[in-house]
Structure 1
């Protein structure tokens, strides 16, 4: 059997869980006062490990949601952000840019989880009814207890949270309406007739059982009227799941641009790993890197996801690996001549910097990345592509430029962003 076959297969555990979560949303057994709590807690439901379940119980009984509000006179927009506590500068930059673009016409609210000595009581009071609300979720009694606890927490939070928000605006803008607290607020605002806009913050891709992860909720939990996206590639992905193209406005990736100076040849290539959701593909990348390094007589460095410890992959590299690292894109690019990668938003960054990148299609690569001239099905095919590109750099850069704009069309970004936010 071809290892890269795309034939329909029976869903594995994570694929079945994804299907069960979507069915839970559709049954609306967890709906109350016009809010679908199955949608609100959906992003939490993918970690079924014992440690993960304990963390969710700790969240449910130990943490409330605190909201900080900044009002302005005659606000036409409300910006709501629930991810500041993640300490992701790239996330913060998106929201801060939107605030700057809208200026004095936007109120602002920011939510974060804070330890509360009273939350256990609030959750416990709502727990029996919340467990009954999980009857539409196909799971064990233990899992339903955890899900019921999450629902009880969010039910206890919703009234106070929604009452704290400013009023009078016509549009609400969220960072990501798939995230739990932002989904809650988006549902409530849309119920009042407020137009909702959300933002792309990674290269969204439709997943299947070969590569399923919580990232699927980026499209499965999308409920806003519109989304501001990076490029046509994302629109095509959402069309696959039934979303109309007119719900999307292309403004490009909102980010601080880093200028990468590749410099002269170093005879070193880089391997960019996925997060831990893509561990099997990461191991396939490192295996391919060993083949490339031997065939091309090169060494390589490995750039890990910021949240992955270096120790997680030390066992998987060979003697040609110079180092494993956490590094900014600019730091990384200075070290390498080209990159080997898989399913990461960093691929789009490299293309935008006109850096050569070759994706390994190990059978788990999402279709959005399976573009001609970008993805290859074997290390041998990548070796031949590297040799061709070394012999014809003009063709390489033409290919990179075409790919770059497909994923990220950020020409006239501020003008397009302002239009999307105000239309």
Structure 2
């Protein structure tokens, strides 16, 4: 009975992959058309604004530069006259205002807290995912409004019900399949078959969201030891396990994530803990060492950032993962924000609302790169080793390399900092 079910699942999975490729091509054409329309409207609005202001305005950069220089010279002359009349108190007040303005500028240019919210699309691009047109800055033509309305109906009237049913079916398929696979794993002769069945099951579930996956440098796939990766959302685990069988570690959850954690524990030796209990962290380090000493156990997948970042940067890696082993297998993952927002802001959205946002987006598209294993140098501390691995992951995925702790998303900075 298992063979027909697996055959049907494979045919269904391959059919979905083919449809997804066609779907991505159509979306690419649609986004390019929207970008051209927005650019044409921006140029038209600029021409209208120039006509409204009069003939004294021009686009000529040389003329604009001369006008700016003459204006600045007049301002400097005016300031030189007034500076002689300023009192000492006014001078001190100016210094205070300069310091305050510099402080406000530093707050506005903060490079940390912006990593904990959804990143905006590049200027001049629009993926039609705006729920409210008043949020979109700029004037929209009637063609763009009609396309936006059709896309809204398509996503909420067709994609959302279909994907909701498929995701709910996964809640039944995953526990049932992992229970069957867990029985096969107890027999050493069927371990390879069980791992293959688990990958096929996870691939089917990934296609239900859907998640478009592209794996690069597969010759560097980890086969043992510790694998580290940057973290954007809980689906990172599903994406990576569609290609490699891992043992997982992470925060113990309730609800939907708790169901999946319990189901996966039947198949592989996973290690769940509560980060708020210090004793469990110490026990996790010992469990990692014992796991690595067993040659028949799969590689361990870790997310050293400890929290989800919005896929524009890689933040501080905790040193604990790099103190256990001298060899790690880095993996870099990057999502394409044009097709949907992959970042899960757990401080603002529940898991249910995050899944609702996923099923109403176009899709999730991501690239995964397997980097060559990195070895700790003699005398290199775990902190330096972690920073070196983090820099390699950030460079490969084209993300910013930041030294800040990602847990600033949940906790306020201490006064001593």
- TM-score normalized with structure 1 length: 0.27
Instruction: Report the structure number with the largest CA radius of gyration.
Output: 2
> Of the two structures, which has the highest relative contact order with CA contacts closer than 8 Å and spacing of 6 or more?
2
